[in-house]
Every structure is written in structure tokens, then in C-alpha cells.
Structure 1
Amino acid sequence: MPYRSSGPRMGRRQWVRNTLALAASTALPFSAWASGKYPEKPIRLLVGFPPGGGADFVARQLAQHLGQTLNANIVVENKPGANGVIAASEVARAAADGYTLLLGVTASQTISPVLSQKVPYDPLRDFTPICNVGSTPLVLVVNPKLPVKTAKDFVAYVNNSREPVPYGSAGNGNITHMAAELFIQNTGLSNLRHIPYKGSSQVLTDLLGGHVAAYFDTLPSSMPYIQNGQLRALGVSSRERAPSAPDIPTLDEAGISGYNTTTWFGLFAPPKLNVQIVQTLNDATRKSFDGADARKSLTARGVEPILNVPDQFKSEIEAELGRWRAVTAAAKISLD
């Protein structure tokens, strides 16, 4: 015998109302989470370089201001190595829940992937771009004891040296290395010797000690040493002078015609992050640096805020990948 309810018959309209109510109650956790419940626990922000460098500086400013906007605790974790690839690899494999983020940089996202087939991620497929926080020029700095005052003096010094002149970088394939390679391509120098380190702070220690002669550092990293006279700045790598350091000429102005490159710092999440969390993070990042004081926390150290939307950031990454493929091919550089 077929089953029959012993209660009153449910009308079609009531059945529809009950079904819609059930669907609404089932969707409630997701809707609440997407509309303001995120974040509900601390967020990890991985940075692939040691404390003291430009990426670490931007990561800590971002953690502070974004944390205030989201009313969340954002914990910066330094996981240095392989030009940021170690930290980026961990984020690429992490759960796409918004609680593991990356402060990615030019080196980890657009240079290393074109230098080595061993990089364990695809820079486009394996990340969710959130926002390009800002960019900065690099600056050619030397020990003040070096007998040069300008970039052209430095070129002449290198050409006249009997021994190869050592310059430091924060690692093979790092932007500080690639900026030097662009400089070499531009000037035709053949007497510079590359000394790779494991981070900016290590290079600066040896540069201050006179163990290397020069370094293409990020401006936020070198600015304190330039300001107190411990390093001499010969030129910034951008097309225009940095607003935070207007007395430093561009390398183009200093006689290195056509030289131009910058590096950027961007916020990334694991792949396939929910679009509403992406929007929350992007909105909050941009809002975090709306105020004059927050923006000054970046610009005072040479980082110019960009703060774009995810689609714009993705397009920039695609263009950068094409550019560095061409540069590394011309320089015949590979990490494999």
C-alpha cells in the first residue's frame, strides 16, 4: 500500500514556500560568510624574502593597514629562498579559503617562472591575483669609498679596473640581478662579477663592509642607508625620478640612455578563491591606503601605490611575463 500522510494535505503553494525557505536556510552560512563574516580567524601573509628588504617592508605595511580595515590579525611569515619561489609554492598549494595569502613580487611571479622549468607553479593558473599594491624603482648604490660620483663614473671605473668588479644581488634571477643584467646590456660592460646572496639584507651588509662594490637594490630597502650617508645613490631605474627621493637622478638622466625597469609588490591567493572573498580583499586593500598617512607609509620609502583591480593586475602580469622572457633570452640566462 502506498504511503499516505496522516496529516493535512500540503498545498502546492505551501510546498513551494517551504522549499524556498529550506534553500535559503541552507545558503545562509555561505551568504553570511561572503557578506561580512570573513575573516573569522588570523590570516597568514607569506613573503619569500628575509626581514629587512623591500618585500618584507611592504608586507608589514600591508599587514598593518589591511588588518585594520578587515579588523583581522594578519601575521607576516618570512619564508625566504629561491627568489620567493618557496613562499609562492606554499601559497599555490594552500586551501583557497582566504586565510593564506602571498606578497608576491616581480621575481617570484614573472622572472623565475621564465628562467626555470623547475618552478613548481604556473604564475597565471596557480594563483588568484588580488591587487598590485605598489611599485618601486631600483637604485644603483655603491659604497661611498668607491671613487665614483655618477653612473657614468661607475661605468668608467669598471672599464678601467684590472680585476672584475664585484656586484651583489639578492639571488640568481632576482630583480636585483636582472636590473644589473639590463644595465650590462645597455652599457656593454664585461668586467662586472655577479655575487648572488640569499636576500637584500645580506647584500647590504657586504656592500657596507666594502666586500662588493655595487648593488641594484629596491628603493625602500636602501633608502635609510642613502639618507644617512652610508651608501651613495648613483641613479634610480625608473623613467622619472622617485617622488620620495627627488634628488637622485634617473639612470637615463645620468647618461645610461634608455634604461628603465621597476619592481612591484602584489597580493595573491591560492587558485580558485571565491570571487566574493577576492572582492572583499581587493576592496579592503584599496581602502587601506586611501588615507594620506597610510599612503605615506609606502611613499616615504619609495613605493608608489598602484592599488588596481584583479583583472588589471592579471593583465600586468601577462605583459611582464612576455617582457622578461625577451630579456632573459637576450641575456642567455637560465636557472636550469
Structure 2
Amino acid sequence: MPETSGVPALAVEAPGMEPHPAMKRRAALGLALGALATPALAQAPWPNRPIRLIAPDAPGNGNDITARLLAPQFEAMLGQPMVVDNRPGAGGRIGVEAAWRAAPDGYTFLIGNAGSNGINAAIYKDLPYDLVTGFRPISMLVAGPNVLVVNRSTFPVSDVASLVTMLKARGDGYAYGSGGVGSSAHMSMELFRQRAGFVALHIPYRGTPALAQGLITGDAPVAIVNLVNVMPFIRRGEIAALAVTSLTRWPELPEVPTLDESDYPGFETMAWNGLLAPLGTPEPIVARMHETVQKIATNPMIADRVKLLGGQLVASTPDEFAARIAADVAKWRDVAQRGDIRAE
């Protein structure tokens, strides 16, 4: 009788008959081969094909810059190409949703930031995913402060207290700019406005480069902006930096005080990029990616390149990163509610 599979067929015996020793050996061998087959398939090495890294913004923006800087490092350590997949639009929602819907097989990751994976939870009411519980955080990658900057002609001041005095003295308010409604610059400045108690008109620009020009021309003479985006203008003296939003002074601007030490205790807003995986990604893969991030963070060449951009390489634990996301979401929800801020 022909066999219908690669495993030998077992003989059907009449009741009371002892199986022939040869049959017993064949049966045992067949069972052993069957038992070995499944683990062998399940233990296929990872990764064995290219990895996709979704950046939820356009080429040349913050997430994309970090992704393209770090992708070659992942490739070298994991032995497979890492392809940066730009998914811009809707304040990062398009890219984040693509990652959320991706199979949790270890071949799709997301590089999120403080806006796409923090602020959006506060200003959008129709997100299909939960930014706190809907992803598997792996590690923060890069972090840097925002900076309070002013146009020197409009605000000829050298400290935060003098700026606030001028802002309060004008009843109808000055204009402040941001890279868009709900951007990190918008929400950080709104938090500062709420705590300082002045009136100001928000002007949302189409991106940070346009905002920088508004600062230089004086059309939007005050803003809190990601340090990466305005460091060249500060160094050339085109705008003045009054305070950074980290809790400690930033190494690249050691002479600039923090808002915390400028009579706004506990004031902190940080721009960050971080690595996340679709929920359900196998924990051994999460652990391998986290280990890889830790190794990249010790690379002095990469650290120097990030420093030139105004940031620092970070290798947090998954739990630390998850806690940061949860804290940011809670903070920005409070700011948005107080300021009645909603995305259109």
C-alpha cells in the first residue's frame, strides 16, 4: 500500500496482536522526524530578508534624518538591508498607522517622535490606535531640547524675565510661530504661554524652515523651536537663544540657561526619536533590536554627527521609553485641553 506522506504509515493491527519489532522501530522513527520538523522551521534565523523602517515624514525632516543616519548601522550589525520607508502626511498619522497595521513579524519597525507618538494623542480624537499601548517600544534613539528664541530687533532682551515683561505689556499680544498646529514647537510655546500668563497669537507655518525665516524677518518674533532646526541661525547671531527646555543646560549651548532655572521649575519639553515595533512582535526580536541600539549608541562617529545636529544618542530601556511616551501623552493632553487646541 503506497504511503501518502514523508512519514511512514503506521500499521493497523488486529486486537491482541503484538506489533512486529520492525514496525515499532519505523513508528518511533516517524514520530521523531515529525517532532523535529516543526522546531526546525520555527527556528529559522532572524533576520533573513530586508527590514523596513517606517519614517512618518518626508525626506529631510527629523525622523528621516535619524532613520537614514542609523539604518546603515543596523544593516552592518544585523546582516540585512534596512530600507527607510517614508510615509509623510497628516502630522505623522499615515506612517504611524502603517506601522500599527503591519504584521508583527520583525520585519517592520517605526521611528516615531514626540509629535507623531506623543502630541497626536492630545490633538486628534479619531486615532485608530492607542499611542501608549498600541506599539512595542524598543528604545529612544536621539533626544534634544527645544530652545526659546527671539528676533533681536523685536525683542532686544537677554533673559526670559525681560521677554515675559515685554510680552505682557502689549495687551493685544505678539505673534509667535510654529511649524504647524500641534507641532512640538506649537505645544511647547503654548505650555510656556500658559505658565507665564501672556497673550500671543499663534501663526502656524508650513514647516520649520518657513518658521525660521519668520523668526529672522520678525514676522513671528518669538518661538520655542527644536534646537536642531535653528542652531545655525543662533551661531550666526541671526536670532537670540534665551533658554533651553531641557532640565539641565545643553552641552552645545552651555551659556544658555534652562527654563527650569529661569523661574519655571520643572519645565521640560524634549524632541526625541525612538524605535518601536508593531504590538505582538516576538520578544527575542525586540531584545535583539534593543541590543543593537545599545551598540550603536557607543559609536563615537555617530554620536558626533548627532551632536552636530543638536541632539544626543540615547539607548533607553523599553520600559523607560514606554514611560516617556505615557508621560508626554498625559502632559500634552492637559496643554491641549487648557488651550483648546485641536487638529483641523
Task: Give the TM-score category using the shorter length.
Answer: 0.7 to 0.9
CA-CA distance at 1:255 after TM superposition: 4.7
The runs of 5 or more residues in structure 2 that have no matched partner are: 1-9, 14-18
Q: Is residue 28 of structure 1 aligned with residue 40 of structure 2?
A: yes
Deviates more, 1:211-220 or 1:174-183: 211-220
Q: Aligned equivalents of 1:116 and 1:127: distance in 2?
A: 18
Conservation of the 8 A alpha-carbon contact between 1:52 and 1:200: no
Once the two structures are superposed, the pairs formed by residues 67-216 of structure 1 within 5 Å of their partners are: 67-150=75-158, 151-161=160-170, 164-190=173-199, 192-216=200-224
Which residue identity lines up with residue 222 of structure 1 in the other structure? Answer: V
Secondary structure of the corresponding residue to residue 198 of structure 2: coil
In structure 2, what is the equivalent of residue 261 of structure 1?
A: 269
Conservation of the 8 A alpha-carbon contact between 1:170 and 1:177: yes
Q: Aligned equivalents of 2:128 and 2:209: distance in 1?
A: 26
Secondary structure of the corresponding residue to residue 253 of structure 1: helix
In structure 1, what is the equivalent of residue 16 of structure 2?
A: none
CA-CA distance at 1:25 after TM superposition: 3.1
In structure 2, what is the equivalent of residue 218 of structure 1?
A: 226
The runs of 5 or more residues in structure 1 that have no matched partner are: none
Q: Aligned equivalents of 2:171 and 2:328: distance in 1?
A: 37
Deviates more, 1:14-23 or 1:180-189: 14-23
Conservation of the 8 A alpha-carbon contact between 2:155 and 2:221: no
Deviations 1:12-63 (A, max 9, x none): 6x64554344333333243132xxx40522x332223344443333233222
Q: Is residue 11 of structure 1 aligned with residue 24 of structure 2?
A: yes
In structure 1, what is the equivalent of residue 291 of structure 2?
A: 283
Change (3 A) 1:17 1:3: closer
In structure 1, what is the equivalent of residue 7 of structure 2?
A: none
Q: Aligned equivalents of 1:165 and 1:226: distance in 2?
A: 21
Q: Aligned equivalents of 2:132 and 2:230: distance in 1?
A: 31
**Paired positions, count:** 329
Q: Aligned equivalents of 2:249 and 2:255: distance in 1?
A: 8
Q: Is residue 318 of structure 1 aligned with residue 326 of structure 2?
A: yes
Q: Aligned equivalents of 2:85 and 2:218: distance in 1?
A: 31
The TM-score with structure 2 as length reference comes to: 0.84
In structure 1, what is the equivalent of residue 238 of structure 2?
A: 230
Q: Aligned equivalents of 2:331 and 2:168: distance in 1?
A: 29
Q: Aligned equivalents of 2:36 and 2:236: distance in 1?
A: 62
Which residue identity lines up with residue 271 of structure 2 in the other structure? Answer: T
Which of 48, 52, 66 is equivalent to 1:44? 52
Which residue identity lines up with residue 37 of structure 2 in the other structure? Answer: S
Secondary structure of the corresponding residue to residue 327 of structure 2: helix
Q: Aligned equivalents of 1:17 and 1:324: distance in 2?
A: 63
Conservation of the 8 A alpha-carbon contact between 1:48 and 1:81: yes
Question: Greater Rg, structure 1 or structure 2?
Answer: 2
Conservation of the 8 A alpha-carbon contact between 1:239 and 1:260: yes
CA-CA distance at 1:110 after TM superposition: 2.2
Secondary structure of the corresponding residue to residue 45 of structure 1: strand
RMSD: 2.8
Identity over the aligned pairs, expressed in percent?
32
Q: Aligned equivalents of 1:205 and 1:97: distance in 2?
A: 44
Secondary structure of the corresponding residue to residue 22 of structure 2: coil
Secondary structure of the corresponding residue to residue 63 of structure 2: helix
Change (3 A) 1:93 1:106: same
Secondary structure of the corresponding residue to residue 210 of structure 2: helix
Secondary structure of the corresponding residue to residue 135 of structure 1: strand
Deviations 1:69-94 (A, max 9, x none): 22333333433333322211111112
Change (3 A) 1:163 1:22: same
Secondary structure of the corresponding residue to residue 44 of structure 1: strand
Deviations 1:75-128 (A, max 9, x none): 334333333222111111122233332111122222211332212211134322
Conservation of the 8 A alpha-carbon contact between 1:111 and 1:321: yes
Which residue identity lines up with residue 215 of structure 2 in the other structure? Answer: L
Q: Aligned equivalents of 1:241 and 1:297: distance in 2?
A: 20
Conservation of the 8 A alpha-carbon contact between 1:83 and 1:172: no
CA-CA distance at 1:239 after TM superposition: 1.4
CA-CA distance at 1:188 after TM superposition: 0.4
The TM-score with structure 1 as length reference comes to: 0.85
Secondary structure of the corresponding residue to residue 134 of structure 1: strand
Change (3 A) 1:319 1:174: same
Which residue identity lines up with residue 24 of structure 1 in the other structure? Answer: L
